[in-house]
Amino acid sequence: MTRNETLKCQDCEGPVVVPNDPMEGEIVSCGDCGASYELVVGENGTFSLNPAEVEGEDWGE
């Protein structure tokens, strides 16, 4: 993967920029809608996106 690679958001097809030194499991966000994704490394070494599991605030419940 090249530096500053851009992937497509699965929600709005907006840009999701992969950082210069990406790590598997890193969370990245869509520049248009703000959706969060987890970076996943495929068999061929390229990155893909999985929707990030966002945990809500636990207000002592």
Stretch 17-26: mean pLDDT: 90
Write the single-letter amino acid at 37. Answer: Y
Beta strands in 5-52 (DSSP E): 6-8, 15-17, 27-29, 36-41, 47-51
pLDDT for 2: 44
Domains of the chain and any CATH numbers: 6-51 (2.20.28)
Do 50 and 38 touch, CB atoms closer than 8 A? Answer: yes
Measuring CA to CA, which residue among 49, 9, 45 is closest to residue 27? Answer: 49
> Looking at residue 38, what is its pLDDT?
96
22 versus 55: the higher-pLDDT residue is: 22
Q: How confident is the model at residue 56 (pLDDT cuts 50, 70, 90)?
A: low
Question: What average pLDDT does range 40-60 have in this prediction?
Answer: 82
* Cβ(10)–Cβ(25) below 8 Å: no
pLDDT of the residue at 4 = 67
